[in-house]
Amino acid sequence: MKTPRRRKVTAGPIRVYALSILLAMLGCEALFTLQAMLVYREPAIIPLGLVMPAAVGLLFGLAIAKIKVLSRDLAVRGVTDSLTGIHNRLWCTARLEAETYRSKRYGEELAAIAFDIDEFKKTNRVYGHQAADVVLVEVAALMQGKDRDSDILARWGGEEFVRLLPNTSLEGATAVAARMRKAIEEHDFSSAEVVTCSFGVTVLRPETDSQESFMGRADEALSQAKEQGRNRVVALP
């Protein structure tokens, strides 16, 4: 009896190479790896001329997949505060521009809350830099838990944070800030005995405000809260 002849799956070098690259460009790492390995069912009969194209295609695809992962990672890092894990000022500024445009075009209200940690320099001095960093992380996590889906929370810089509230009136934003203030005051922080925050609240004036004047007014309200004794909310229309 004759031994059945093993049938070779037909595929030329160009086809192997092109398919590997195509799958790689699509990000299908598992698929193009499998394709490169199983172009021929019997490894013993793979022509030498096809080994190099398949290998190059595989390596090229792996490199592209790695670049995509790194690019996504860099994109996330670019808009994320490395300490607290929430969004940073760069991301918040971009969202501020978009929300300001939306508010002016469609007549929707837009509120902003600027807040920072009271006497943060003293916290640094008394408890140390690492303990102060822990306070920042805990404040960010606590405030992130208070977000609505539409709200935009970011670390503005240092110990200051910003929360944008689309479709929210001055009264509504002031009530939100009051709840945030109370949550921080009542929270049992792990690295400091007492932590409080001051809050400045304002709303966009669609006819006259720029992004700078809008956020400047929130900062002014925050400054007034500090001057009035800290751990309080001040709203400016």
Judge if 113 and 74 occupy the same domain: no
Whether the pLDDT of residue 77 is over 60: the answer is no
In-domain check, residue 30: yes
Indicate if 182 and 118 belong to the same structural domain: yes
Q: Are 67 and 124 within one domain?
A: no
Asked if 61 and 30 count as a contact pair (C-beta separation under 8 A), the reply is no
- Is residue 6 assigned to a domain? no
Are 180 and 138 in the same domain?
yes
Residues 152 and 222 in one domain: yes
pLDDT at 108: 95
Q: What is the mean pLDDT of the chain?
A: 81
CB 189 within 8 A of CB 136: no
CB 32, CB 20: distance < 8 Å: yes
Q: Are 92 and 151 in contact (CB under 8 A)?
A: no
> Do both 35 and 95 map to the same domain?
no
**Domain encompassing residue 201:** 89-236
What is the band of 63 on the pLDDT scale with cuts at 50, 70, 90? low
**Helices and strands (H, E) in the chain, number of each type:** 8, 5
Pairing of strands 197-203, 233-236: parallel
- pLDDT band at residue 180, thresholds of 50, 70 and 90? very high
> Is residue 68 located within the same domain as residue 168?
no
**Together in a domain, 71 and 100:** no
Residue 2 lies in a domain: no
Q: Is residue 7 part of a domain?
A: no
Q: What is the pLDDT of residue 55?
A: 58
pLDDT above 80: residue 143? yes
**In this structure, are 70 and 178 located in the same domain?**
no
Same domain? For 65 and 96 the reply is no
Query: Would you state the pLDDT for residue 40?
Result: 46
Contact 110, 166 (CB under 8 A): yes
From the candidates 29, 99, 138, 159, give the one annotated as an active-site residue. 159
Query: Which pLDDT belongs to residue 91?
Result: 94
Asked about 220 being catalytic, the answer comes back as no
Q: What is the pLDDT of residue 70?
A: 43
What pLDDT, on the 0 to 100 scale, is given for residue 71? 44
- Reported as a single tens digit per residue, the pLDDT across 1-60 is 555 555 554 445 555 555 555 555 555 554 545 455 555 444 445 555 555 565 566 666
106 and 67 in a common domain = no
Query: 191-221, pLDDT tens digit by residue?
Result: 888 999 999 999 999 999 999 999 999 999 9
8: in domain: no
pLDDT in the model for residue 65: 58
Complete edge-to-edge strand list for the sheet that includes strand 152-157: 152-157, 160-166, 110-117, 197-203, 233-236
Residue 41's pLDDT is 47
Residues 103 and 197 placed together within one structural domain of the fold: yes
Q: What percent of the chain has pLDDT over 70?
A: 67
Domain count, the chain: 2
